[in-house]
């Protein structure tokens, strides 16, 4: 760890203020080029602590940068992990006010809900599937607090991996009934299909995203608790949106989920 606690707290406040006031900022590694992984997760943990202190509930976890499409789009090569707060949740078919966000983008994702705890090291896709209660379609709305969505891995981890809003809906499916690698997704913007993919785009198998998350948490003595919603990461590139746009994700056999921007 290269940062002292006062600096971690100041950076967490700066990034969270940007989130809450819909303002952008320069990436923090511009000022702290030595920022390490521990520093980055310490800043994210401090943002989480600030929210919990204000009475916000943490309602889920997410993996990001888990597909080649996303890694290529953002110019990075390692998955990252973040948390979902209660007010990130938007009802299926609901609306999001553009003035609350900076420059949102939408990603089609497979959401998992666990029925047993997952703890690393050694967590694998078999353990994840055995611990999965059900899967369902999800749209994640990411909104990097960094200017022009430009960042490096440590800056994005500190910024809670651009987390902003999410919508789950459609049907729930028992994981044993599907080959998650070939589960197809179509993302539509205003009725036009704009991105396509299948589950295998996420690390070869989307359950691998949860295995990696459990293994990462295991290093810190933490786990994915039973009953946790986990977003496994964007299957395709993220799609930019503006006021007036309607986004729909259609997932093979699992129905659809929509959100609109105003």
Residue 55 beta carbon to ligand OOG: minimum distance, rounded to whole angstroms: 25
Q: Which is nearer to Mg ion, 3 or 211 (CB)?
A: 211
Q: Positive or negative, the Cα torsion across 58, 60, 61, 65? A: negative
Query: Does 237 engage in binding with Mg ion (CB under 5 A)?
Result: no
Q: Does 157 bind ligand OOG (CB under 6 A)?
A: no
Which region among 38-46, 61-69, 120-128, 218-226 touches ligand OOG (by CB under 6 A)?
A: 61-69
Tell me the C-alpha distance between 165 and 147, whole Å.
Answer: 19
Q: Determine which residue in the list 3, 111, 234, 258 makes contact with Mg ion, applying CB under 5 A.
A: 234
- Cα–chain-centroid distance for residue 25? 20
158 belongs to the binding site for ligand OOG (CB under 6 A): no
Segment holding 61, helix H or strand E: strand 58-64
Cβ at position 201, least distance to Mg ion in Å: 12
Q: Rule CB under 5 A: say whether 140 interacts with Mg ion.
A: yes
Largest CA distance in the chain: 50
Cβ at position 142, least distance to ligand OOG in Å: 5
- Rounded Cα gap, residues 175 and 110, in angstroms: 11
Nearer to ligand OOG, 126 or 204 (CB): 204
Q: Which of 40, 90, 141, 161 binds ligand OOG (CB under 6 A)?
A: 161
Tell me how far apart the alpha carbons of residues 45 and 214 are, in angstroms, rounded to a whole number.
16
Stretch that binds ligand OOG, among 16-24, 34-42, 58-66, 110-118 (CB under 6 A): 58-66
- List the x/- string, 109-148, binding to ligand OOG by CB under 6 A: -------------------------------x-x-x----
64 touches ligand OOG by CB under 6 A = yes
- Rounded Cα distance, 62 and 164, in Å: 11
Q: Map the footprint of ligand OOG across residues 91-110, applying CB under 6 A.
A: 107
Question: If DSSP codes are grouped into helix, strand and coil, which group holds residue 242?
Answer: coil
SS3 88: helix
- Burial per residue of 136-165, b for 16 or more beta-carbon CB atoms within 10 angstroms, e otherwise: bbbbbbbbbbbeebebbbbbbbbbbbbbbb
The footprint of ligand OOG (CB under 6 A) covers 64-66, 70, 74, 107, 140, 142, 144, 156, 161-162, 233-234
């Amino acid at each position: 760890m290269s940062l002292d606690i006062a600096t971690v707290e100041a950076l967490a406040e700066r990034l969270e203020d940007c989130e809450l006031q819909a303002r952008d900022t320069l990436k923090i590694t511009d000022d702290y080029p030595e920022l390490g992984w521990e520093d980055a997760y310490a800043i994210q943990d401090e943002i989480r602590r600030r929210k919990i202190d204000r009475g916000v509930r943490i309602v889920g976890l997410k993996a990001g940068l888990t597909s080649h499409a996303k890694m290529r789009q953002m110019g990075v090569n390692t998955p990252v992990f973040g948390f979902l707060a209660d007010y990130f949740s938007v009802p299926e078919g609901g609306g999001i006010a553009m003035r609350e966000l900076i420059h949102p983008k939408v990603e089609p994702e497979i959401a998992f809900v666990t029925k047993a705890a997952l703890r690393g090291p050694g967590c694998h896709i078999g353990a994840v599937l055995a611990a999965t209660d059900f899967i369902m379609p999800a749209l994640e709305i990411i909104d990097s607090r960094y200017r022009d969505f430009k960042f490096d891995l440590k800056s994005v981890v500190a910024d809670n991996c651009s987390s902003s809003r999410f919508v789950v809906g459609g049907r729930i499916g028992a994981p044993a009934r599907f080959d998650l690698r070939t589960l197809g997704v179509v993302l539509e913007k205003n009725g036009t299909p704009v991105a396509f993919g299948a589950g295998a785009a996420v690390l070869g198998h989307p359950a691998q995203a949860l295995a990696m998350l459990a293994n990462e948490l295991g290093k810190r003595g933490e786990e994915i608790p039973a009953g946790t919603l986990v977003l496994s990461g964007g299957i395709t590139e993220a799609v930019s949106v503006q006021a007036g746009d309607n986004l729909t994700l259609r997932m093979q056999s699992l129905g659809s989920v929509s959100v609109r921007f105003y």
